[in-house]
Chain A
Amino acid sequence: MSVLTDTAIVTSREMRPVLGDPFSIIFSLVQPIFFLALFGPLLAGNLGDELPGQVWQWFVPAILAMISLFGSSAVGSNLLYEMQTGAHERMLVTPLSRSSLLVGRAMKELITLVAQALLVVLVMLPFGFRFSLPGAVAGLVLLAVLGVGISSLSYALAIAVRKQDWMFWAVQQTFLFPLMILSGMLLPLEGGPGWMQVAARVNPLTHVVEAERALFAGDFGSPAVVWGFVAAGLTAALGLWLGIRSMRRSD
């Protein structure tokens, strides 16, 4: 059996509970939705002068990156749970390749992430969110690449801390907020101190957020798009490498 078939089996198995309970897709959207509903109007009040009528165009693409940051980074806990109950061990004694156990799970995250992003985009339409359709498609592809990277890193973390499971949330929470704030998702970083701007430049999420904004605006020629794909691609490559490497040692 090929790695592709193995991966498809793992993805399909992971998708089964989601398809059985589609509302579970919305649960991990709770935090980004609060940012949209409660932070968005504040932003409109404060940035309205700089971005007249453009606040949603600026904020919604960033929220998509936030979905990945909040949702994909938490998925390791599912694997952690299956390592504790014994389901993961059982799968290690099947012909499934070790890499498919990681990639198959990451593919499931990719699917749910894109579904969540579509949902947010559609919900924001009546509120005046406008975008370029080809740009949005490219934006979702970029998001999918980022999601594979972040979820793979989350799985690698889960495997690394499997003997002290509380560490998973400690590490995840530690990274979550600095990465979010230093990406310019919520507020432009141009007004921040110099060290913050330097930190933002090395944060791959910054480049993805800027690329999403450019893409949804239909600005395919922007250098931000290239840098966004480079940043997401590097995150995915690092995540898959670390994830597959951890999965091979997960017993």
Chain B
Amino acid sequence: MQTQPEQERETEMIEAKGLTKDFVSRTETVHAVRGIDLRVERGETVAVLGPNGAGKTTTMRMLTTLLAPTAGTARVAGFDVTRDPARVRRRLGYVGQGNGAGHGQRALDELYYQGITFGLSRTEARRRGQELLDGLDLAGKERTKVSELSGGQRRRLDVAMGLMHAPELLVLDEPSTGLDPHNRANLWEHISALRAATDMTLLLTTHYLDEADTMAERVVIIDHGAVIADDTPETLKTRHAGDRLSVTAGSRPDADHLAARLTQWEATSEVAVDGTVVHAGIAQGSSRVTDLVHLADAAGIDIADIQVRRPTLDDVFLNLTGRSLRETGSTPELETAS
């Protein structure tokens, strides 16, 4: 069977051009977002990665109609966020940094009201709410007050709220911040399952590198309010940070000897010796290990251990900005949701 023709539909779910936001106060003007271009295709999962204060949340708030851009335009789900915010909201599921479900309400009640808000019938809203509670491991919590749910449960309820009307696009702003590793893994498991089951487009922000790496087909790195890289995690790592090689030699003279050889070898770069360990960058690291062993054998160098490490997105960020995301991203609780 032929695939469905898609020509009448716009292929991009999000198209932002020159999106800019300045926060002007009496004492200063903060250029939070400086002309961001962003394109997200239908069905794509894109992670926006960056340190706190980089402009991730401000960008999300402009794309979800919560904040008017100072300059630039954005079309989301086919409609302009400034001229047609109501139509954008109707097509969008939004899970903000806070708890979408009101703390004084019961879990299923909040899902029900979210459903009828988006035009579902009463019975349909209850059915869909129950289905999402079951699917997100919240069965039995229907009548529990939101304030009495655990942090992880509350976050999954927030995601359920965002999914009530089966939106074309789900925007998740730091969905896993504040969760322990177990609950983080659990949340992503559910989101991945949803992704597999629907053709929903997913845009998320995070400062957890591993989440961006494993979840997203494309990573957009933002720093100081501008996009500094935008590609698949693999391409970013290959282009902006090569594999890292660490060879432990049998002795210090062996290490120096090996370092001298590696400096001449075309596959390696930035060779440095630390005790008996030689560090270097290496192109296509894993395929060169045999060559490396032959090279050492031929020179009579004793080798105790060889490690080739694939770069992380943190290496990419480090190479692009000279700063590590782990350091800047280590205090998520200091970021305010405003």
A174 near B: Cβ within 8 Å? no
11 A–B pairs (Cβ distance < 8 Å), ordered by A: A6-B117, A16-B106, A84-B98, A87-B98, A91-B117, A93-B64, A93-B89, A93-B96, A95-B90, A95-B117, A95-B119
- Contact of A86 with B337 at beta-carbon distance under 8 Å, contacts A1-B119, A93-B94 already known: yes
Q: Which of B90, B96, B102 has the most CB of A within 10 A?
A: B102
Distance in angstroms from A15 CB to nearest chain B CB is: 11
B116 near A9 (CB under 8 angstroms)?
A: yes
Known: A16-B106, A85-B98, A87-B102. A92 touches B86 (CB 8 A): no
User: Is A87 within 8 A of B101, CB to CB?
Assistant: yes
Q: How far is the CA of A87 from the CA of B107 in the complex (A)?
A: 13
User: Which among A12, A20, A89 has the highest number of chain B CB atoms within 10 Å?
Assistant: A89
CB distance from A155 to the nearest CB of B (A): 15
Q: Which residues of A contact B117 (CB under 8 A)?
A: 6, 9, 91, 94-96
Given contacts A12-B113, A85-B99, A85-B102, 5 further A-B contacts (CB under 8 A): A82-B102, A90-B100, A93-B64, A95-B89, A95-B118
Closest CB in chain A relative to B116 CB, distance in Å: 6
CB-CB < 8 A to A94: which residues of B?
89, 114, 117-118
Q: Does B293 contact A (CB under 8 A)?
A: no
Q: Is B103 an interface residue (CB 8 A)?
A: yes
Residue among B94, B96, B113 making CB contact with A13, cutoff 8 Å: B113
Tell me the residues in window 68-84 of chain A with beta carbons closer than 8 Å to chain B beta carbons: 78, 81-82, 84
Bin the interface of chain A by size: 20 to 34
**CA of A6 to CA of B117, assembled, Å:** 7
Nearest-CB distance from B110 to chain A (Å)?
A: 8
Contacting pair A85 B106 (CB below 8 A): no
A77 to chain B, nearest CB (A): 12
Residue B97 at the chain A interface, CB threshold 8 Å: yes
Q: Which residues of B contact A20 (CB under 8 A)?
A: 106
Q: Which of A93-107 contact B (CB under 8 A)?
A: 93-96
Tell whether, in the assembled complex, residue B97 and residue A17 are in contact, meaning their CB atoms are under 8 Å apart.
no
> Which residues does chain B contribute within 8 Å of A85, judged by CB atoms?
98-99, 102-103
Whether, in the assembled complex, B216 has its beta carbon less than 8 Å from a beta carbon of chain A, the answer is: no
The residue in chain B whose Cβ has the minimal distance to the Cβ of A8 is B116
| Chain A, Cβ-Cβ closest to B91 | A95
